[in-house]
Amino acid sequence: MHRWAAVLVVLGRRWVLLTLLATLVCGPAHARWLPEALMRHSVPAWVIDPADGTILDANAAAVELYGYPDMALGHVNIQQINQLSEAEIRAEMARAHQEKRGYFLFPHRLASGEVVTVEVHSSPIPGPQGRILLLSLLLPESRSVTLGRELQRYQTRLEDLVAQRTDQLLSAERKRARMLMMALGVSALATLVLLVLLRQLRLGNQRQRELATQLQDVLRGARLGLAQWDLQRDHIALNDRLGRLLYLKRLPANVVKIDQSFVRDVFVDPSDLRIIEGIVALGHAFSLQVVGEGVETLEHGTLLLRLGVDVAQGWGIARAMPVDTWTSWVRHWQAPQQWLHWAPLARSPWSRALAQVEIEHRIVMARALMGEPVPQHERCPVTELLDPILPRGAKSWPEVVNLHQAHEAFHRVANQAAAQRRQPSNTMTRDALQQGHAAWIAALEALQERLAQPLAASE
């Protein structure tokens, strides 16, 4: 039996790949053995007579692949193309059976002399006069490998997407569980605290009533007037005879300290700025020296200096040290140049106002660093706070023009970061925001120096 007849016997039992294609050619004889659908298909296909190996018909894709113009006319034999012997063909069929694959791998010689490995997917079909023909689809190995790799990549991508989605769902579920546990814990703690506060409030109200009665007795006995004690707000109001600032006026003190809790977050909390301003104003009104605690950085010390604080205290100056080294440290310590620069300007009437403007700009920068949207330059709190306090004619000063230009440049970078709808983790974006803020601070210092000049104050 011819070697292709052996292929036909094996394929008649095993391969189902082209069964549907085989049914297309069943029935009456055709002028072409390939069905019309395969004739126009881009996959190479042919029909072989297994009795002598003649290629009876081939589509255009097969003619183009192999380069034999007369292949479809029955003038080409498979022995001209297949480079394996009959024994090698049987060995390849055995390997296909062992590997459970539905195709054969044969080396085929093209008309150009080049030898390529081809996947041959074959199926028997009925021919004339009861003959059995062999219909084959031919897939060059390079294309097969490409398709296999694409399928592998697609499968890997699907698996990655499934794993990613699963992780997201599990993460969200764990997050909800943590939030629920935290909410339950906070609720229980709040309930406990509320019970404790209610008990203390009852005890406190009873004690306050006793103290109010004692206070009234003392005031009447000393003929100092009367007092009203609001127990709900814990507020005592003395009559005009005593005055509300009586005790503050007579306090035997010459120093007032600003607690570090107000200094630490002053750059991000305008309320802390207002408190510091109030304490400085009150201290200076009573001729008290104002000391700022918690000066951790040069920027904190500079801001307190501009707000009128007389003395700074904190690790930004020096950390705790042994007593025997303190004298040497005092002798060699020198104030930072940044503080020396601002010292002559600290008592300027514009110093505090511009410090408020700087705080607002730092708040806007903090929002920008978090990727949050910031208002337009014209509607920015910095602009709304700065423009009304400038003297008439100051908008044409080069210092004011430079300040507005630096502010606009900062807003352009901030809006670009917000448009990305993510926190600007990109180092270049964060650097651009910080550089824009630094340029704006430099312009603000230049304006401060201009405003501190006597001519500017009179304008």
Helix (H) or strand (E) holding 394: none
Architecture, CATH, for domain 3-144: 2-Layer Sandwich (3.30)
Architecture, CATH, for domain 348-459: Up-down Bundle (1.20)
Residues 6+ apart with CB under 8 A from 432: 413
Full pLDDT tens readout for the chain, 459 residues: 344 444 443 444 333 334 334 434 443 444 478 888 888 888 899 898 888 888 888 999 889 889 998 888 888 888 888 888 888 887 877 777 777 777 788 888 898 888 888 888 888 888 888 788 888 898 886 555 555 666 677 788 788 888 888 888 888 888 888 888 888 888 888 888 888 888 888 877 776 676 666 656 555 554 445 555 555 555 555 443 444 455 556 656 788 888 888 888 888 787 888 888 888 888 888 888 888 998 988 888 888 888 888 888 888 888 888 888 888 888 888 888 878 877 776 666 777 778 888 888 888 888 888 777 788 777 888 888 888 888 888 888 898 888 888 888 888 888 877 776 555 556 777 888 888 888 988 888 888 888 877 544 444
Is residue 123 within 8 Å of residue 135, measured between CB atoms?
A: yes
Residues 6+ apart with CB under 8 A from 413: 368, 429, 432, 433, 436
Domain coordinates in residue numbering, the chain: 3-144, 148-228, 253-331, 348-459
Q: What are the beta bridge partners of residue 124?
A: 134
Q: Which residue, chain included where needed, has tokens 């600290």? A: 346
For residue 288, the 8-state DSSP code is: P
Q: Which of 254, 236, 342 is nearest to 291 (CA)?
A: 254
For residues 211, 213, 214 and 217, what is the CA-based torsion angle, rounded to 10 degrees?
Answer: 160
d(CA 4, CA 46): 14
Q: Which of 412, 397, 411 is nearest to 443 (CA)?
A: 397
- Calculate the alpha carbon distances from 318 to 84, 267, 310, 331, 449 in Å: 89, 21, 17, 13, 29
Domains 3-144 and 348-459 share a fold: no
d(CA 350, CA 303): 13
Instruction: Note the pTM of the prediction, 2 decimals.
Output: 0.41
Number of Cβ within a 10 Å radius of residue 148:
11
Residue 44: predicted pLDDT:
92
Residue 233: predicted pLDDT:
55
d(CA 103, CA 140): 12
Is residue 69 within 8 Å of residue 92, measured between CB atoms?
A: no
d(CA 76, CA 110): 12
